[in-house]
Amino acid sequence: MKINKEGYRIIAVSSVCCLAIWALIYYMLQVQEKNWLLILLTVLLVMFWGLIVSFFREPRRIKIHDSDLVFSPCDGRVVVTEVVVDDEYFHGKRLQVSIFMSITNVHINWFPVGGLVKYFKYHPGRFLVAWHPKSSTENERTTTVIETPGGVEVLFRQIAGVVARRIVSYMKVGDYVNQNDTCGFIKFGSRIDILLPENAKLLVEIGDRVVGTQTPIARIGHFENIDDEVVEE
């Protein structure tokens, strides 16, 4: 299993902490000869450490390049599909799709479309639960807008949740990015909003489970002279 680079430090620190806690428990319980409790706590520590390691796993995925589609930028569950008014960039109505990532999901983020990064901004903020409607505008978040080769602008937001305390983004304005390449990471439970043209054809419903880079969430139109391709990592 490959581990994402964002997890190296956290895994190392958690390993040291778990070993220190185990050594302390071992010393205290050996004196009292409570071996059954030592075994139980050891299992719980190993499970906790394993959960942290699995959180930063980096799956091997087939990269699908299709300029006609918007792919899910993350693993998770669709929690919002509605028309909203965006006041940050578009200043008008857009179709919003929101995906919630639980603590058990892979938290790598991928570009839902390819093209030119037209806008990027980091917003400090609160840490409401990620499924709260106000998390889109009040939580710590980043906003990125990509213009596709066909001239369609797609906005997506990385949103921190009540547990997530750090958002990592790899893009900057002026970059040309490829669809389904890695764009960042949100550390522990969080959410991503995607804002699409109001007339985009929605391909998912609330409650659907989606897989990053693999599940198309909307169709934004077909553009001539754009070749679709499938690339394996």
Residue numbers annotated as active site: 190
- Orientation angle between helical segments 35-55 and 8-32, nearest 10 degrees: 180
What DSSP string runs through 165-185? Answer: --EEE---TT-EE-TTSEEEE
Region label for 230, one of left (φ > 0), alpha (ψ between -120 and 50) or beta (otherwise)? beta
Amino acid identity, position 93: K
Separation of alpha carbons 1 and 25, rounded Å: 30
Amino acid occupying residue 30:
Q
The b-or-e profile of 39-64 (16+ CB within 10 A means b, else e) is eebeeebeeebeebbebbebeebebb
For 94-103, b/e burial (b = at least 16 CB within 10 A) is bbbbbbbbee
